[in-house]
């Protein structure tokens, strides 16, 4: 049997993925709560309408309230604004989990396992391309979307598998199958409808050419199968029009802003170093340039055409990406790479595999082997279903820290990616926002202005000036969306002497290098048994300086004394004990300046052995380990 190896592989992998689906815990992230809500509504009530009782039950199960992604229909009932195709497909698995008394959140990954099996059967057995092409396409999916999104209560596996299979069907000139597969994928990610349109367009073109050759051809009979495919692709819009009176309720929810569509976001979809397609499928970074060079060389030697039919797949990928660029929540929950990129990139996968497989045998083998090694290495590093903890979308990828520590100008992400991943949480913080690879040093600042004096005042506070560690010309500005700018360079805030620094609400907490809480209105609390302040100086020739600090110690009835020692280098420069009733302090001493990161600086180390938390002494529920609260710090010759 010609497909014996494929059949054995599919059979073995089917057992593996189904076993993993039942064994692994479900990962409910992003909009997964709403898909789970739809699943329960369909499974329990046999309806998409969301009742208050069901909402409360699901909210209690997932741990947060649901309502934002629902809308009241024309019939007065509440419906989810997402279409329900993926939850509907998961209903049989939902009933199966109830029968076996296991976590019904696993319904989605059981469905994902079945989708993966169906995908492999289609690609490896149904498709008729060369074996190398079919195996490479299957491997690219399994080692990316299949690995990273397997446990998600999201439709990435569904849309990714459908769009990838459709792209291969398009290459094989099975246009109706391509249209049908991409139509199924578009039910949850409507942008895939562009691949439906392209596939149907080529089907019609082929039909017209056949009709010109044979006028006896029955056009109506041949066109008829395209009608239900087209209706399937637009069924989410028809549903929304029926239930809500509008074509797209997601637009009405405020989640879409077409003014955000830009070349910068298009670039981010494919090449962003935190979440772009290149992150989730790094083998493309090697294979795509090799395929392009191979195409040019073959064209120059008259062995190949410069443009080929499968090149339309690149256009399909770009067209599918354009509506997603309007997402207000651009840095949305994902696993390793962006959810949208996980299916937008599938036509490029087929184009790349086909183009690489057309190269000379030795070159083709080297590229495919290297691609397999690169993609497998990503799986080992990032884990996917192999790791208990999936990468978080509000964390910087490991390689970003190395890039920004040395060459911050090489990567200017969409601002939302920067501020959510640097801050480690959803939502826009106050600007300017600083990335600091090491205490006291900044390499990237997101700001609203290119006025360096204004940014210095905002970042460094009173008496401070933002300066490069090296040549001043190394600081560079770059404009990004939203009228914002990045300042790139190796920067520190340097302070003139004399100066008085107020530590309340200081935008630049980077002089507070360790052991401090967030600055408050009038000052900043220590939050450890030891704390350090480093103040870079504008003048390089100063040998010693006078320092004055004001503030108060944390003392209570149960913690009546706070011992405080201040050191600079190996020298103790001051020590005292604050007691109940005498909390405030105003201390003056002299310190020798030190060289820190190549800059003459004042370094103050605070030893606070009596620091404790208000919760521990019964003063409040505050769990910070408080010792002293510094309000001002003055430097004098």
488: tokens are 């790139």
SS3 293: helix
Question: Is 404 a member of any domain?
Answer: no
Residue 388 has what pLDDT?
61
* Nearest residue to 390 (alpha-carbon basis) of 342, 337, 330: 337
370: tokens are 């290297």
Question: Is 393 a member of any domain?
Answer: no
Residue 2 has what pLDDT?
65
Any long-range contacts for 248-251 (C-beta under 8 Å, 24+ apart)?
248/190, 249/71, 249/81, 250/81, 250/82
State the residue range of the domain holding 631. Answer: 500-636
Question: Is 396 a member of any domain?
Answer: no
DSSP 435-459: E-SBTTBEEEEEES---HHHHHHHH
Assess whether 491 and 505 both reside in one domain. no
Whether 446 contacts 413, CB under 8 Å: no
Assess whether 177 and 322 both reside in one domain. yes
Assess whether 551 and 491 both reside in one domain. no
Examine the fold and report which residue of 463, 495, 527 is the final residue of a domain before the chain moves on. Answer: 495
Question: Is 400 a member of any domain?
Answer: no
Examine the fold and report which residue of 495, 518, 545 is the final residue of a domain before the chain moves on. Answer: 495
Number of domains the chain is built from = 3
429-455 residue pLDDT tens? 788 899 988 877 889 999 999 998 889
CATH number of the domain where residue 625 is located: 2.60.120.260
Question: Is 413 a member of any domain?
Answer: no
Assess whether 18 and 100 both reside in one domain. yes
Residue 1 has what pLDDT?
45
Assess whether 251 and 338 both reside in one domain. yes
Assess whether 450 and 510 both reside in one domain. no
Residue 304 has what pLDDT?
74
Assess whether 230 and 105 both reside in one domain. yes
Assess whether 482 and 373 both reside in one domain. no
Assess whether 27 and 142 both reside in one domain. yes
Assess whether 519 and 489 both reside in one domain. no
Question: Is 510 a member of any domain?
Answer: yes
Examine the fold and report which residue of 473, 495, 517 is the final residue of a domain before the chain moves on. Answer: 495
Question: Is 273 a member of any domain?
Answer: yes
Helices and strands counted in the chain (H then E): 23, 17
CA dist 252 and 332 (Å) reads: 19
Question: Is 532 a member of any domain?
Answer: yes
CA dist 144 and 385 (Å) reads: 11
Residues (pLDDT < 70) of the chain are 1-2, 28-30, 67, 386-391, 462, 470-473, 505-510, 541
Whether 611 contacts 543, CB under 8 Å: no
Assess whether 477 and 515 both reside in one domain. no
Assess whether 193 and 142 both reside in one domain. yes
SS3 325: coil
């Amino acid at each position: 049997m010609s497909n014996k190896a494929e059949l054995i592989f599919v059979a073995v992998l089917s057992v593996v993925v189904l076993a993993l689906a039942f064994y692994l815990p479900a990962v409910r992230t992003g909009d997964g709560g709403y898909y789970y809500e739809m699943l329960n509504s369909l499974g329990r009530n046999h309806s998409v309408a969301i009742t208050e009782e069901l909402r409360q039950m699901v909210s209690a199960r997932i741990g947060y309230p649901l309502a934002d992604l629902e809308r009241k229909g024309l019939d007065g009932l509440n419906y989810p604004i997402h279409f329900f195709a993926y939850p509907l497909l998961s209903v049989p698995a939902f009933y199966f989990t109830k029968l076996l008394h296991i976590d019904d959140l696993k319904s989605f990954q059981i469905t994902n396992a079945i989708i993966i099996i169906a995908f492999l059967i289609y690609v490896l057995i149904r498709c008729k391309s060369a074996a190398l092409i079919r195996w490479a396409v299957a491997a690219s999916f399994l080692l990316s979307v299949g690995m990273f999104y397997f446990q998600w209560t999201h439709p990435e596996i569904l849309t990714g598998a459908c769009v990838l299979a459709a792209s291969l069907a398009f290459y094989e000139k099975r246009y109706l199958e391509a249209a049908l597969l991409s139509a199924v994928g578009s039910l949850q990610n409507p942008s895939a409808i562009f691949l439906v349109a392209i596939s149907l367009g080529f089907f019609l073109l082929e039909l017209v050419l056949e009709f010109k050759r044979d006028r006896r051809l029955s056009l109506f009979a041949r066109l008829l199968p395209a009608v239900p495919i087209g209706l399937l692709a637009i069924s989410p819009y028809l549903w929304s029009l029926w239930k809500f009176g509008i074509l797209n309720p997601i637009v009405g929810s405020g989640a879409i802003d077409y003014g955000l569509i830009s070349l910068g976001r298009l670039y981010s979809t494919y090449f962003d170093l935190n979440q772009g397609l290149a992150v989730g499928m790094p083998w493309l970074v090697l294979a795509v340039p090799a395929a392009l060079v191979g195409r040019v060389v073959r064209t120059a030697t008259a062995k190949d055409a410069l443009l080929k039919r499968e090149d339309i797949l690149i256009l399909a990928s770009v067209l599918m990406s354009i509506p997603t660029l309007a997402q207000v929540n651009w840095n949305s929950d994902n696993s390793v790479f962006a959810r949208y990129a996980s299916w937008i990139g599938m036509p490029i996968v087929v184009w790349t595999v086909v183009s690489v497989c057309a190269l000379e045998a030795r070159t083709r083998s080297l590229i495919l082997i290297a691609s397999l090694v690169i993609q497998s290495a990503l799986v080992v590093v990032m884990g996917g279903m192999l790791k208990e903890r999936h990468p978080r979308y509000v964390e910087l990828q490991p390689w970003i820290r190395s890039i920004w520590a040395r060459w911050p100008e090489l990567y200017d992400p969409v601002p939302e990616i920067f501020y959510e991943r640097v801050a480690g949480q959803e939502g826009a913080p106050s600007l300017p926002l600083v990335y600091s690879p090491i205490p006291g040093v900044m390499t990237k600042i997101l700001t609203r202005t290119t006025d360096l004096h204004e940014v210095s005042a905002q970042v460094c506070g009173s008496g401070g000036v933002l300066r490069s560690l090296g040549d001043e010309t190394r600081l560079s500005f770059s404009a990004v969306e939203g009228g914002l700018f990045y300042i790139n360079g190796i920067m520190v805030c340097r302070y003139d002497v004399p100066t008085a620094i107020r530590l309340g609400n200081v935008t630049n907490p980077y002089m507070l290098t360790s052991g401090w809480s967030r600055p408050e209105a009038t000052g900043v609390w220590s939050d450890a048994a030891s704390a350090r302040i480093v103040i870079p100086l504008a003048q390089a020739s100063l040998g010693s300086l006078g320092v004055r600090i004001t503030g108060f110690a944390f003392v209570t009835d149960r913690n009546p004394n706070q011992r405080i020692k201040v050191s600079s280098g190996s020298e103790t420069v001051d020590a005292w004990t604050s007691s109940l009733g005498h909390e405030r302090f105003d201390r003056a001493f002299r310190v020798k300046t030190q060289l820190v990161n190549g800059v003459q600086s004042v370094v103050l180390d605070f030893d606070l052995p009596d620091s404790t938390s208000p919760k521990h002494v019964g003063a409040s529920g505050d769990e910070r380990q408080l010792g002293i609260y510094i309000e001002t710090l003055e430097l004098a010759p």
